[in-house]
Amino acid sequence: MSTPSVRPERRALVPGTFDPITEGHLDIIRRAAQIFDEVLVAVAASPAKGGHGRLFTLEERVSLVRTSTADISNVRVEPFSELLVEFARRMQADVVVKGLRAITDFEYEFQMTAMNYEIERNIETVFIMSPPQYMYLSSSIVREIASLNGPFEQFVSPCVYEALCEKYHLDRTDCK
């Protein structure tokens, strides 16, 4: 009779700039945490997309992600500033998890996945589809709504809501 083999722990990496982290990001992180033994949320230090500066510093983004995911026991948050697959290898992650909202996300992520595979063939990429209520949600949309003093509380965690109120100097009774 053979002894059952022990499955090695599976560590997944969920990368992003998280400027700021949204409920859509949190949904993907929570779902990944149900699938994998450990989820490492990797906050990218990379410059802003489109050449514009970031709203939050790397340190602020890491802090907001840590606070927003504090209730998920198997999640860890780390900043990174190297190639994603090199960071994944260094962190001993087996899988990179990416959220997909629409076909445009797929086209971009497909190219990135192919390039990452050419660099590091031992790290797989897994896509998790966003549920319908988050398919339109992005950090840039949340920033725009907040900057125009629109309603955005439902799209972010309480700590991010407060941080956005502070960044945009919003005088709201519900902003602490």
Q: Which domains does the chain have, with CATH numbers?
A: 11-136 (3.40.50.620)
- Given the residues 68, 139, 143, 157, select the one marked as catalytic: 139
Tell me: is residue 100 an annotated ligand-binding position: yes
Is the distance from CB of 116 to CB of 109 less than 8 angstroms? no
Has residue 48 got a pLDDT over 70?
no
Has residue 59 got a pLDDT over 90?
yes
Q: Is 147 a catalytic residue?
A: no
Q: Is 167 a catalytic residue?
A: no
- Given the residues 31, 54, 101, 143, select the one marked as catalytic: 101
Burial of 18 (0-12, 13-18, 19+ CB in 10 A): buried
Can you give the pLDDT at residue 52?
65
Percentage of the residues of the chain whose pLDDT score is greater than 70: 91
> What is the average pLDDT across 120-129?
96
Q: Is 176 a catalytic residue?
A: no
Can you give the pLDDT at residue 127?
97
